[in-house]
Structure 1
Amino acid sequence: MTAGVFGAAGTADVGGDTAPPGRRISELDALRGLALCGIIFVNISQVMNIHGVVDGQVLPVRHALDLFVHERFFPVFATLFGVGFGIFLRRAASRTAWPRVPLLLRFAALGVFGLLHHVLQPGEALLPYAIGGFVVLLPFSWFPWWVNLPAGAVLVVLSVTLASGGMASVPGLLLLGFGLAQAGVPEALHRSTGKIAAVFAGSAVLSAGALVWQEQDPLSVGFTSSSAVAGLCLSLAYTTGLLLVLKTPAGRVVSGALEPFGRMALTNYLTATLLFVPLGYLLGLPESTSWGAELGLAAAILAVQIVWSRLWLDRFRYGPLEWVWRCVTWRQLVPMRRAPEAV
C-alpha cells in the first residue's frame, strides 16, 4: 500500500535524481535550525507576557519583531515536521510491512512531549503537531503527493481566511510538508538552484506588499489575515534565502552552525523553555517592557545551544530527546554513541 504512494523501491514519485535512501538531508537540518532561531524570540515574549504597546504605541523592538519574526518561523517549523513525517514513513516502509504503526508511535511520543512542555509553555507547538499527525496526516498518508500538496495548500488558505492563520494553519502546513516529502522535493534541493532563486524573488516581492498591508493595523498583529499572509510570504523568503546562502562560499560556515542545531531540534526546542522560564523570572521579564533583555536572553540561549549541539553530535548519533523519540518509535533501544574512528 505504501509502495503505491512512494514507489516500489521507496523513492519519491517525482524528482528522479533523489538522495540515497537513508541519507540525512543537511538542508532540512539547517532550515530547522533557522526556524528555532526565530521561534525563541516569540516564545520568550509570549510566555513572559512582555508588554509591546505603551500609550497606544507599539514599542520599537516589538514592532521590528512583528515585522520580521512573529509568525515568520513557526510555518517553517510546522512544514518541516510534515516533511520529516513523510520521509519517515517512506523509510519505515523499507523496514516493516506496517510502516504506519511506528508512525503512530511517533505521533504518540510527540504528544507526550507536548503535554509535558505545555506545563511551562501553554500554547506550545508539539501537541498540535501530534494531533495534526493523527487527524490529518494518517488518513492522507494513503493519498499521493498530487492530492496532498493541493489539499495542504487549501487548508492553509482556509486557515488564513477564516481564522487569521496562527495555530489554525498547522494541519495544512503539516500536510503541505508531507506532500513535499512524497514528491521528492527535499532530495532535489541540491540541484534546484534556479527554481529556488525564482521562488525567493517572488516571495520577497510578495513579502514587501504583505508587510505594507500588515502595517495598516500594527496594533492587531497576530490576529489579522494581513499578518498571517505576511508570515507565510516571509517564511518562504527566509527558507529559500537560506537555501541559496547554503550554496555560496559562506554556506559552509552557516551550515556548520545551523545543521547540528537543527538536528537536535526537539531537544533544543524543549530545553530552550527550561532555560528561559527561570532565567526570564530572574531578569524580571514577566509583565515588563524589557525587550532589550529579552533579545539578549534569546541570543545567549541560542549561542549556548548551537555550541552544545555541535559538541554533543561529535560524540553521539542523536540528540538526547531525539534518541528517546527514536527508541519509542521502534520499541527498542538504538545505539546512541558514535563508533570510534579507525586510526
Structure 2
Amino acid sequence: MEIEFLGTGAGSPGKFRNVTSTALRLLDERNSVWLFDVGEATQHQILRTTLKPRKIDKIFITHLHGDHIFGLPGLLSSRSFQGGNSPLTIYGPKGIRDFVEVSMRVTETKLAYKIHYQEINGDGLVFEDNKFQVFAAHLDHRIACYGYRVVEKDHPGELMVDRLRADQVPSGPLYGQLKAGKTVTLADGRVINGQDYLGPAQPGRIVAILGDTRQTPNAEKLARNANVLVHESTFAKGEGKLARAYYHSTNIQAAELAKRAHVKMLLLNHISARYTGKLAAELQHQAREVFANTRVVKDFDEIPVAFQKKTEATKV
C-alpha cells in the first residue's frame, strides 16, 4: 500500500504544484488504484508516473469545488481509450453524478465501461469487501465536503511451522488448511485445530484522507489511530482567523489534530501557491514543532504505508 500525490496545490495550478489528486496504490492488496479527488490535468500527472488508468476502479470525491473535480471528465474518457473496460465506481457528494453525466452528454463521449455512482448523504460506511472498509464523514467547508477513512482488515496470523514440526505434524498440503484455520484429521488419527498454530493477527493499516475543512470533531474521528493522515494546509501558523474565514485549516491545526488523534504520520497537502521553496519548508518546520512526524508533500511523492504494531479501533 502506497500513497502517491498527483497534485498537492490549492485553488489553481502553479508552476510547482498541480491541483489536488491523491492516489492510493493497492496493487499488492487488490490489484487496483483508488483516486481521491481529480483536479484539472490529473491525467497529465498520471502520464509522469507508472500508474495505469485502467487500474483505477474507485474514485472518491471530497467535494465539488473545481480544483477537486475538473480533471474527472478527461480522465474518465482517456481511461476508456486506454483499454479500461472494467466498471468504475465514483463516490462523492450529491451532484457528482450530474457533473459527470452532463460532461459526457454535451461532449458526446461514449465510455467502454459502466460507471456506478454512490452519492453520499450521511456519515458512515460507504464501501466494504473482504479486505477493506471505507468510511465517510462530513467536514466543515463552504459546500458539502467529506473526508474518507480507509481501513484495511486484519491479516491472518502466520502459521507457526516450528511448532507444527515439534508436534510431528507432517508438512504438505495440510499446512495450507491449517493456515486457513481449519480443523484437520492426521493420518495417525489426531485431530488438530489450525487456530492453535496461528500467530497473532497482523493489524490492518488505516489511511485518512480529508477534503478541505475547518477544524471539526469529525476530522478527529476519521483520523483516530491512522497510520497516515492526509490533511490540507492551506494556511500557516498565525493565520487561524483567515483559515476559519475561508473554511480551511492551518498547518498547526492539522498537526494538533494528528497529535490528539494519535496518528503515526501526517502528510500536509493542498498548499497555497504563496508557499514555495523556503516558505513551504517553513510550513513543515512549524508543524513539526507540534507533531514531529509531519511532511509537506510535493507532486509525485510516493509514501509507503507501514503496518501498525498493535490492534486499534477501526470504525468512525
Please report the TM-score for the alignment, with normalisation by the length of structure 1.
0.27
The structure with the largest alpha-carbon Rg is: 2
By relative contact order (CA 8 Å, sep 6+), the higher-ranking structure is 1
Normalized per residue, which structure has more strand?
A: 2
**TM-score (normalised: structure 2):** 0.28
The answer to which structure has the higher helix fraction is 1
